[in-house]
C-alpha cells in the first residue's frame, strides 16, 4: 500500500519519522514546513509494520496539468523503520513497483532528490536507476580522541585556531532575537559576497522558525570579538550527526578566519553531547573547489554525495523538453525541461 501524507497531516508525518531506524533533520515535518518552493509531501509505502517513507516537494509544471517532485535544501531521500541493508529484497521490489505506478497515476513526470551521505539509500534507489555521483562531502569523526581529531587539521587550520584564541575571540550559543538578526546580516553579507543564488538568501522568519523547531536540536553559535559578533553558524544535532547547516563570517574579519575556531569548538561541543560525526558538507555545486578545500582542511574523512533523478513518464518528459526548446540534451541538469526556468 502506498499513500501520500501532506504537510497538514503534522502528527502522521512526525509519527513515521519517530518510528524510523535513522533520520536526519532534513526529513522532519518542521524542516519541510519551512520550504516554500513546493508543496511538501511524504510518500509512504507500507507492508505490515515495515515502511519506506519518502519526503518530497510537489511542484506544478507550468502550462500543463502535470507535476514533478524535488527535495528540500540539504540531504534528504527516503527513510525506513529498518536500515536499507536489512529490508527484504521482495519488499524493496514491491516499493519500486508501487511507487512507479503511483507516480504515473498521479501525473508526476519526474522525481529528483539529494541523497544523504550517511544513510546508504543507494541500495533502494539503484533499483530504479538514475543514481548520479555528484561529488564528495567532508565529515569530522568524533569517535576518535580529540587529540587525534585535531592531528587531522592542516597547518593552516592549526595556525588560525591558535591565532584567534590568542586574540581572545569567544564562542557563545545565541538565543535572543537580536543575535538572530545579527547572524542573518552576517550570513546575507557572506552570500552576496560570493554571488550566491537567490535561493540561499533566507528570510529572518526562516532563521527564527529553524531555531524554534521542535523536531530536532538546532543551535546558533556566534564568535565574538569583545561584544561584537563576527562569525556564526547554525548547526543541528540529530541521531549522532551534527550538521553545520549555515556558516558565515563578516568580511572585515576574513583575514583572521574565526570560522576555523568555530568549527573546532562545535566539534568539541558535539562530542560532549554524544555525537558521532560533524558533517561540514561539500563544495559549491559539490565541486572540489576552494570551499571544499576549506572543509577538507579539517578532516580526511570524505563521503560520497549522490543524487537521484528518475523519469516516471518518458513520453511526457520528452514532450516537455521539446516544448521548452531545450537543445542541449546532454546537460546533467534534472529535470531537463526546467533548465531554462531557473536563474540560480
Min mean pLDDT across 29-38, 313-322, 325-334 is at 325-334
- Last residue of some domain: 110, 129, 148? 129
- Last residue of some domain: 89, 108, 129? 129
In the chain, how many domains are there? 2
Rounded to whole angstroms, the Cα distance separating 42 from 23 reads 14
**241-249 and 277-281 strand pairing:** parallel
Q: What is the pLDDT of residue 341?
A: 54
Question: Do residues 26 and 108 share a domain?
Answer: yes
CATH number at residue 36: 3.40.630
What is the DSSP annotation of 102-144? HHHHTTEEEEEEEBPTTT-THHHHTTTS-EEEEEEEEEEE-SS
13 CB-near residues (< 8 Å, 6+ apart): 5, 7, 29, 32, 42
Residue 206 covered by a domain? yes
305 CB-near residues (< 8 Å, 6+ apart): 75, 114, 115, 117, 133, 134, 135, 136, 137, 282, 286
Residue 342 covered by a domain? no
Question: Do residues 116 and 220 share a domain?
Answer: no
Q: Which residue's C-alpha cell is 505506478? A: 101
Question: Do residues 70 and 24 share a domain?
Answer: yes
Residue 8 covered by a domain? yes
- Last residue of some domain: 129, 159, 178? 129
How does pLDDT run across 123-137, given as a tens digit for each residue?
999 999 999 999 999
Helix locations, the chain, DSSP H? 10-18, 29-33, 89-105, 122-125, 146-151, 155-166, 177-193, 204-212, 258-272, 290-296, 314-323
Question: Do residues 77 and 159 share a domain?
Answer: no
Residue 338 covered by a domain? no
Q: What is the pLDDT of residue 144?
A: 97
Question: Do residues 149 and 79 share a domain?
Answer: no
Q: What is the pLDDT of residue 131?
A: 96
Q: What is the pLDDT of residue 343?
A: 39
Residue 317 covered by a domain? no
> Can you give the pTM of this predicted structure?
0.94
Q: Which residues of 227-253 are buried (b: 16+ CB within 10 A; e: fewer)?
A: eebbbbbbbbbbebbbbbbbbbbbeeb
pLDDT band of 331, cuts 50, 70, 90: confident
Rounded to whole angstroms, the Cα distance separating 299 from 282 reads 12
> pLDDT at residue 44 above 90?
yes
> pLDDT at residue 89 above 50?
yes
For the segment 213-236, the average pLDDT, to the nearest whole number, is 97
Q: What is the pLDDT of residue 342?
A: 46
pLDDT band of 330, cuts 50, 70, 90: low
**Phi-psi sector, 262: left (phi>0), alpha (psi -120 to 50), beta:** alpha
Which of 336, 342, 330 lies closest to 316, judged by CA? 336
Q: What is the pLDDT of residue 153?
A: 98
Q: What is the pLDDT of residue 176?
A: 87
pLDDT band of 203, cuts 50, 70, 90: very high
Question: Do residues 149 and 119 share a domain?
Answer: no
pLDDT band of 287, cuts 50, 70, 90: confident
Question: Do residues 92 and 195 share a domain?
Answer: no
What is the DSSP annotation of 281-294? E-SGGG-SSHHHHH
For the segment 213-230, the average pLDDT, to the nearest whole number, is 96
Q: What is the DSSP letter of 235?
A: E
Question: Do residues 229 and 172 share a domain?
Answer: yes
Question: Do residues 159 and 264 share a domain?
Answer: yes
Rounded to whole angstroms, the Cα distance separating 256 from 258 reads 6
Rounded to whole angstroms, the Cα distance separating 155 from 264 reads 14
Rounded to whole angstroms, the Cα distance separating 202 from 192 reads 12
Q: What is the pLDDT of residue 344?
A: 38
Question: Do residues 176 and 105 share a domain?
Answer: no
Residue 234 covered by a domain? yes
CB count, 10 Å around CB of 213?
17
Question: Do residues 178 and 101 share a domain?
Answer: no
Bond before 314 cis per omega within 30 degrees: no
Domain holding 164, by residue range, is 137-304
**Which of the two residues, 36 and 108, has the higher pLDDT score?**
108
> pLDDT at residue 148 above 90?
yes
Question: Do residues 157 and 42 share a domain?
Answer: no
Q: What is the pLDDT of residue 334?
A: 94
> pLDDT at residue 324 above 90?
no
CATH number at residue 186: 3.40.630.30
> pLDDT at residue 298 above 70?
yes
**Phi-psi sector, 226: left (phi>0), alpha (psi -120 to 50), beta:** left
Percentages of the chain per state (helix, strand, coil), in multiples of 5: 40, 30, 30
> pLDDT at residue 329 above 80?
no
Residue 337 covered by a domain? no
Residue 179 covered by a domain? yes
Amino acid at each position: 500500500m502506498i499513500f501520500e501524507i501532506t504537510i497538514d497531516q503534522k502528527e502522521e508525518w512526525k509519527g513515521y519519522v519517530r518510528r524510523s531506524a535513522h533520520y536526519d533533520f532534513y526529513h522532519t515535518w518542521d524542516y519541510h514546513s519551512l520550504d516554500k518552493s513546493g508543496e511538501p509531501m511524504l510518500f509512504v509505502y507500507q507492508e505490515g509494520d515495515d515502511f519506506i517513507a519518502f519526503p518530497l516537494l510537489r511542484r506544478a509544471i507550468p502550462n500543463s496539468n502535470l507535476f514533478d517532485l524535488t527535495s528540500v535544501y540539504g540531504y534528504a531521500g527516503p527513510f525506513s523503520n529498518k536500515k536499507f541493508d536489512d529490508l527484504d529484497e521482495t519488499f524493496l521490489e514491491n516499493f519500486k513497483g508501487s511507487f512507479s505506478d503511483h507516480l504515473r497515476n498521479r501525473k508526476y513526470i519526474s522525481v529528483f532528490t539529494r541523497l544523504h551521505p550517511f544513510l546508504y539509500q543507494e541500495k533502494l534507489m539503484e533499483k530504479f536507476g538514475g543514481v548520479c555521483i555528484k561529488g564528495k562531502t567532508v565529515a569530522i569523526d568524533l569517535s576518535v580522541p580529540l587529540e587525534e581529531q585535531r592531528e587531522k587539521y592542516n597547518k593552516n587550520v592549526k595556525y588560525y585556531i591558535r591565532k584567534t584564541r590568542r586574540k581572545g575571540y569567544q564562542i557563545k550559543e545565541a538565543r535572543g532575537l537580536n543575535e538572530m538578526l545579527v547572524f542573518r546580516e552576517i550570513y546575507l553579507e557572506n552570500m552576496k559576497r560570493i554571488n550566491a543564488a537567490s535561493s540561499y538568501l533566507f528570510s529572518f522568519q526562516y532563521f527564527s522558525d529553524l531555531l524554534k523547531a521542535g523536531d530536532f536540536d538546532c543551535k546558533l553559535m556566534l564568535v565574538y570579538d569583545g561584544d561584537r559578533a563576527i562569525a556564526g553558524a547554525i548547526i543541528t544535532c540529530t541521531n549522532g550527526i551534527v550538521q553545520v547547516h549555515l556558516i558565515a563570517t563578516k568580511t572585515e574579519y576574513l583575514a583572521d578566519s574565526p570560522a576555523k575556531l568555530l568549527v573546532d569548538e562545535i566539534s568539541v561541543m558535539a562530542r560532549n553531547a554524544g555525537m558521532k560525526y560533524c558533517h561540514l558538507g561539500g563544495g559549491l555545486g559539490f565541486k572540489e573547489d576552494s570551499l571544499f578545500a576549506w572543509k577538507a582542511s579539517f578532516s580526511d574523512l570524505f563521503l560520497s554525495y549522490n543524487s537521484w533523478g528518475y523519469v516516471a513518464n518518458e513520453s511526457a518528459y520528452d514532450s516537455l523538453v521539446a516544448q521548452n526548446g531545450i537543445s542541449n540534451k546532454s546537460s546533467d541538469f534534472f529535470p531537463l525541461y526546467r533548465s531554462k526556468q531557473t536563474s540560480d
